[in-house]
Amino acid sequence: MEPQEEAPTPREPVAQPPGASRSQMLTQAEQREGGEVDDASAEGLWELPVELVERRPECGRCSRPQKVCLCPFLPEHPLHISTHLYIIQHPAEENKVLRTVPLLAACLPRDKCKVKIGRRFSEERDPELSAICRSSGTLILYPGAEAANLEEFIIDSPIYPSTIVIIDGTWSQAKDIFYKNSLFRLPKQVQLNTSISSQYVIRTQPTNRCLSTLECAAVALSILEKNISIHETLLRPLQALCSFQLQHGAQIRLSKEHLLRNGLYPKPMPKNKRKLRKMELLINSVKI
Ligand SMILES: [Zn+2]
C-alpha cells in the first residue's frame, strides 16, 4: 500500500497556449483512456491550435523517463522465485509519477508478477483472479486483527503458499478494495510483523513503519522464498529513486507520526472527532 502524498518531482515545462485550461490540454492518450471532457467545456476545443503534451519517452524495462532510468540498479536478470505475486492496483496509482510497482515488476520474471488494475472484481468478470483467490495456496497481505503473521503462518501451514496478493493504493484506497470485494476475503489474510522503517522517504506516510508496495513485496518474498538477499535486491532501485529525487529538490517527508509526536505537524488538528481520535492513536503508536 502506498502512502498518500507525493514529493514534488522535477517535470519538464509544458508549453501551453495562453489561457489554455487543463481540460483543454488533455493529451490524446488521456482522451483515448476516457479523460472526461464535458460538453460545455469541450465546445470550441476543436478551434484551438493543436499542441499536444508529449509524454517523455519511457524506458521499456523500468518505466521511468529515459533520462532518469533506474535500470543500472535492477538485477541483471529477473530474480529466481517460485512465489507468484499478484498486485491489485487502484486505478489512481497507475498514473502517479513516483510508482514503485514498475520497479518491482522489472526485478521479477514476467510470469511471477501480475498487475491487475481496478477497484471492483467479481467471480463472473475475473475468473482467473477468482480461481487464484479460491486456491488454498494463496495469501492476501492486508494488516488487521484477522491477519496472521506471515513468518509464523508459514511455519505451521500444511500447504506452503504459492501466491501472494498485495493491494497497491493509498491506505484508504486499499481499505476500499479489500472490504468491498468479497473475493479478497477468501485467501488467508496475513501481515508483516516488521520493525523496518520505510526507506521510501519522499512520500508522506502515516507512520514510519508504513511500507510502500515495493517494500511490502520485498519483505514478503524474502520470507516466502527464505532468501534475505531478495529484500536487498528489490530495495536497491527504490533507494536509487529516493536519492535521485532528494538530489533534485524533493524533501524528506517525515511521517505524520513523527511530526505529531514532535509537535511539528504543520496543519491545525482536525475538528472531526473520528479524525482527531485517529491522530491521537498515531501519537500513542497504537496500530490503526
Ligand atoms: Zn530503465
Per-residue pLDDT of 81-95, as tens digits, reads 999 999 999 998 877
Determine the average pLDDT of the residues in 180-190: 96
Q: Are 163 and 86 in contact (CB under 8 A)?
A: yes
Q: What is the pLDDT of residue 243?
A: 78
Cα 109 to Cα 119: distance, rounded to the nearest angstrom: 25
Q: Which residues contact 216 (CB under 8 A, 6 or more apart)?
A: 1, 141, 166, 192
Element (H, E) at 89: strand 84-89
Give the chain's radius of gyration (CA, Å): 21
CA 52, 57, 62: angle at the middle one, nearest 5? 140
Residue 221, C-alpha cell as written in the block = 518474498
223 C-alpha to center of ligand 1: Å?
Answer: 27
Dist CA 88 CA 121 (whole Å): 10
Q: Which domains does the chain have, with CATH numbers?
A: 68-253 (3.40.1280), 255-287 (no CATH)
Q: Which of 19-33, 65-79, 128-142, 258-272 has the lowest mean pLDDT?
A: 19-33
Query: What is the whole-number distance in angstroms between the Cα of residue 74 and the centre of ligand 1?
Result: 8
Ligand 1 geometric centre to CA of 65 (Å)? 8
- Model pLDDT, residue 41: 41
Q: Ligand 1 center to residue 63 CA distance, Å?
A: 6
**Residues of the chain above pLDDT 90, percent:** 41
Whether the Cβ atoms of residue 169 and residue 143 lie closer than 8 Å to each other:
no
Confidence of residue 29 (pLDDT cuts 50, 70, 90): very low
- CA 114 to ligand 1 centroid distance, Å: 19
Q: Which of 51-55, 180-184, 193-197 has the lowest mean pLDDT?
A: 51-55
- In the reported structure, the alpha carbon of residue 68 is separated from the centroid of ligand 1 by a whole-number distance in angstroms of 8
Distance from residue 273's CA to the centre of ligand 1 (Å): 46
Q: State the average pLDDT over residues 16-44.
A: 37
Distance CA 74, CA 189 (A): 30
Of the candidates 50, 206, 213, 53, the one whose C-alpha atom is nearest the C-alpha of residue 141 is: 213
Q: 280 falls in which pLDDT band (50, 70, 90)? A: low
Which pLDDT tens digit goes with each residue over 161-175?
999 999 998 888 999
The whole-chain average pLDDT of the chain stands at: 75
Query: CB of 288 within 8 A of CB of 281?
Result: yes
For residues 135 and 163, is the Cβ–Cβ distance under 8 A? yes
The grid coordinates listed for 255 are 511521517
Q: Which residues 6+ apart lie within 8 Å of 278 measured at CB? A: 288
